[in-house]
Every structure is written in C-alpha cells, then in structure tokens.
C-alpha cells in the first residue's frame, strides 16, 4: 500500500476475553510519517488493537513486530499517571523508567512545551491538563511511533487544537469518534467493526457519505 518505511507490523493479532472475541485476526502495518485514524463504533476493538500494538496487552494469537526495536509511546484513554504526584514528579518518575540520562531536564522541557502547572498534585489538574500530561509522559524517550486512544474525547475545541499542535509530525495512530479529525489530521483510515478490519486505505478513498454506517 505504501513505500514508506514500516515501523510496526501486526500479523494475525487477535484477542479473546473468555468466550468473548474482542479482536479477530488482524494484519496492520504502521509506516513512518503516517497519521492513521482508527475508527469504529464502541466495542469494535479499537482500544484492544492499540493496546496490543503498544505492548500493554498480549494478543491471544498473532504477533507484533517492532522493526529494529522501534520505541513506541502509548497514550491510553485514562491518564496513566499518579494523582498524588505533581506533574513534575510524574514526568521525572517516568523519565527514569524510560532511562532518560537527565530525568529532571527531560521533565522540565516537557513541562515547558505543554505549558503544564509543574508543582500541583496531578489530581487537582483540569481534564485538559491531565490529558496533556498523559501525552507528555508518552513522549519521554522520543518514541518514533505514538499511539493515542481517543486523546481528545474529553477536550473542548481549543484544547483539541492545542493537543494536535503538540503531537503532529512523526508517526501517529489515533482512535477517534470525531470524524472531523480524520480530514484535519489523518493520512490513512482504518475501520474496525465487530472486531474485524473493515477498511484500510488513504483518506481520499474513505467515503464520508457512508461514515454514519461505521457507527451503527
């Protein structure tokens, strides 16, 4: 489909939870410089696929290959941070886990980039600031691939725009139910329905006239 360099390869990845099939065997290549919109109704398998790509969930079958050990940043729907710690403390902690050579400096750079309140408990931050902190944590270690699970679902239009300004460029896979974001940010669309891959192609080939059918 593309001559771009593959960074992640999913081959036949599937997931069951007991008797429930969350994701049918799925093949997916994530290539450099792509921004992939992953869409589908609730329960279609989007979060499951992203979690498998991120390595936070093991597939029941199949495998994910990180080409040349590529580093992946993961932003789950629920912020993966410690509420009792400040934004600075969270960033420094995760910087050490990512083996940053200078954790304090890495934390300060991201605090400045994301314009975050540095020294307040994370539990007291606004929804927008918590999500920006969630993204900042994922950017530690300079990942080549960024995986985002509905990153703007709880944000207002201004917060959405600022978040996209901060993550644009590079290689991004994001799930969304905001169809406007497809036209604004995606170069490719992947549609899941009932745990199955229903469409995979460039935005130009995605027929928005039938977009409502995706979310039936």
Condensed to tens digits (0 to 9), the pLDDT of residues 34-77 reads 999 999 999 999 999 999 999 999 999 999 999 999 999 999 98
pLDDT at 1 over 60: no
Q: How far apart are alpha carbons 127 and 42 in whole angstroms?
A: 22
Q: How confident is residue 162, by pLDDT bands cut at 50, 70 and 90?
A: confident
According to the model, what pLDDT value does residue 30 have? 97
**Both structure tokens of 95:** 């910087």
Site of tokens 């899941």: 192
Q: How confident is residue 216, by pLDDT bands cut at 50, 70 and 90?
A: low
Q: Between residues 168 and 29, which one has the greater pLDDT? A: 29
Neighbours of 11 (CB within 10 A): 15
Instruction: Return mean pLDDT, the chain.
Output: 91
According to the model, what pLDDT value does residue 201 have? 92
Contact 82, 122 (CB under 8 A): yes
pLDDT at 2 over 50: no
pLDDT at 32 over 50: yes
How far is C-alpha 185 from the geometric centre of its chain's CA atoms? 13
Q: What is the 3-state secondary structure (H, E, C) of the chain?
A: CCCCCEEEEEEEEEEEECCEEEEEEEEEEEECCCEEEEECCCCCCHHHHHHHHHCCCCCCEEEEEEHHHCCEEEECCCCCCCCCCEHHHHHHHHHHHCCCCCHHHHHHHHHHHCCCCCCCEHHHCCHHHHHHHHHHHHCCCCCCEEEEECCCCCCCHHHHHHHHHHHCCCEEEEECCCCHHHHHHCCEEEEEECCEEEEEEEHHHCCHHHHHHHCC
């Amino acid at each position: 489909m593309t001559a771009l360099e593959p960074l992640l390869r999913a081959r036949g990845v599937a997931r069951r939870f007991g008797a429930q099939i969350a994701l049918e065997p799925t093949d997916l290549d994530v290539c450099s410089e792509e921004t992939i919109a992953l869409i589908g109704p609730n329960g279609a398998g989007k979060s499951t696929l992203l979690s498998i790509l991120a390595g936070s969930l093991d597939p029941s079958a199949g495998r994910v290959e990180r080409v040349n050990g590529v580093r992946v940043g993961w932003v789950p729907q629920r912020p993966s941070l410690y509420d009792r710690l400040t934004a600075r403390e969270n960033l420094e902690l995760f910087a050490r886990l990512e083996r940053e050579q200078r954790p304090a400096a890495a934390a300060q750079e991201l605090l400045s980039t994301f314009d975050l309140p540095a020294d307040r408990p994370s539990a007291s931050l606004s929804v927008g600031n918590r999500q920006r902190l969630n993204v900042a944590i994922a950017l530690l270690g300079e990942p080549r691939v960024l995986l985002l699970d509905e990153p703007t679902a709880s944000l207002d239009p201004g917060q959405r725009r600022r978040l996209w300004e901060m993550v644009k460029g590079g290689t991004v896979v994001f799930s969304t139910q905001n169809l406007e974001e497809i036209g604004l940010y995606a170069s490719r669309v992947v549609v899941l329905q009932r745990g199955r891959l229903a469409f995979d192609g460039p935005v130009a080939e995605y027929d928005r006239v039938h977009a409502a059918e995706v979310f039936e």
